[in-house]
Structure 1
Amino acid sequence: MNEYLPLIRGAAGVPEVRSRIAWSEIEAELGLSLPEDYEELLEGLPPGRFNDQFIDVRHPIFAGSSDRFVSGLKEFLGALKEGRDLEKALGDKAATHLAVYPEAGGILPWGRVEDDWIFAWKTAGEPSKWKSVAVSFEFNELYPLPGSMSQALYRLIIGDTGVEELDYLSEMQNFVQD
């Protein structure tokens, strides 16, 4: 079991659930394996948003099917690439260094804060070793997040990421189920 699942449930008041998610279908459609801690965490959480509805974690159950989950993710990745390319064209040097999956080592989103922050993995190496990052929607800020995706989410909920720009996310620790 994911060691951060009970901590996240306790910190945000998340109800206990057990979901079966078609990870093999999702991974086949994406063309890569996802980190095990993400899979275990989402099987133990209902779809929803954390901390006064700020933090939205991408959840296959909310999409209704693995096909819709993957197509929604691919659509979001396309929008991220367009945004990154626009920032590059405008001369933003930070954006020029940001790859978006399926580019080598590109970011693959696992959550977001509306039009403010993207929480993603940097897809370099084995999925169990992927690092989480927070990227601003303008692509001009990128911060490493601590540990695995589950640990990063827990730290975002309790306000212990070490990134001052993300502190506002922890002002109200709760969970709203979708």
Structure 2
Amino acid sequence: MATIADLENLIGPPIRPAPINDWDAIEADLELRLPADYKELMTRYASLKLDAHLGLYIPNPGDHPQETMREGVLSMLRDLGPHEDEELEIVDGQGNVLEERHFPHYPHPEGLLPWGSTQNGDVCLWETTGDPDTWKVCISDGIFIWKHGSGILDFLVKANQWSLSCPLLPDGGNLDRTYT
């Protein structure tokens, strides 16, 4: 399993200190516990945009202090789709459709919860099944969904090591080890 040190060795240390997040308040607002690797990442980096393409959502609302994290997440999901009566096609690393399945959105149990997005409009999500530290990273364009078998740090480290195969992202999801 990848660590924050593994990622930092690839992309470098933070440029500026991260804000102090009240994780108890954030998780109470969301009514769920977030993965430990995400909280560690957001405690270390103030913001993170990799390869000028993939950006992570930070837990504090920034420009919209009156908006809670829950409201921000729900707003993002409204734009994502699919709607409740639609399904996503699950694809493998080569883009082959494996199955079609309905994925509920947060706040439904086991719903998709966004943690980032890309410049081309893809949404980075967790499939919130089971313990948060075992949630799978998913990438969706609203029609297709690709699943990574592990958490956010593992996904980001593999993307920066050029060992991913995600057909929904440019270069298969392999990033150039730069961040802003």
TM-score (norm 1): 0.78
Residue 122 of structure 1 is matched in structure 2 by 127
Q: Which residue of 156, 161, 164 maps to 2:159?
A: 156
| SS at 1:119 equivalent | strand
* Deviation string, structure 1 residues 125-154 (Cα, Å, up to 9, x no partner): 121221111112xx2221111421111122
Residue 26 of structure 1 is matched in structure 2 by 26
By how many angstroms is 1:93 displaced?
Answer: 6.2
Residue 4 of structure 2 is matched in structure 1 by 5
The alignment yields a C-alpha RMSD, in angstroms, of: 2.8
Count of residues in Structure 1 that have an aligned counterpart in Structure 2: 167
Runs of 4+ in 1 over 6 A off after TM superposition: none
Higher helix share: 1
From the superposition, tell whether residues 93 and 43 of structure 1 become closer, same or farther in structure 2 (CA, over 3 Å).
closer
By how many angstroms is 1:62 displaced?
Answer: 6.3
By how many angstroms is 1:120 displaced?
Answer: 1.0
Residue 93 of structure 2 is matched in structure 1 by none
The answer to whether the Cα contact below 8 Å between 1:37 and 1:149 also exists between their aligned partners in 2 is yes
CA distance in 1, matches of 2:35, 2:5: 18
| SS at 2:169 equivalent | helix
| SS at 2:82 equivalent | helix
By how many angstroms is 1:160 displaced?
Answer: 1.6
Residue 131 of structure 1 is matched in structure 2 by 136
Structure 1: runs of 5 or more not aligned = none
By how many angstroms is 1:71 displaced?
Answer: 2.5
The answer to whether the Cα contact below 8 Å between 2:161 and 2:174 also exists between their aligned partners in 1 is yes
* Deviation string, structure 1 residues 54-92 (Cα, Å, up to 9, x no partner): 010111246265954332222112222xx312993xxx6
Identity %: 21
Structure 2: runs of 5 or more not aligned = 90-99
The answer to whether the Cα contact below 8 Å between 2:125 and 2:137 also exists between their aligned partners in 1 is yes
From the superposition, tell whether residues 21 and 172 of structure 1 become closer, same or farther in structure 2 (CA, over 3 Å).
same
CA distance in 2, matches of 1:132, 1:84: 18
From the superposition, tell whether residues 43 and 84 of structure 1 become closer, same or farther in structure 2 (CA, over 3 Å).
same
By how many angstroms is 1:10 displaced?
Answer: 2.3
TM-score (norm 2): 0.77
Residue 57 of structure 2 is matched in structure 1 by 58
The answer to whether the Cα contact below 8 Å between 1:134 and 1:142 also exists between their aligned partners in 2 is yes
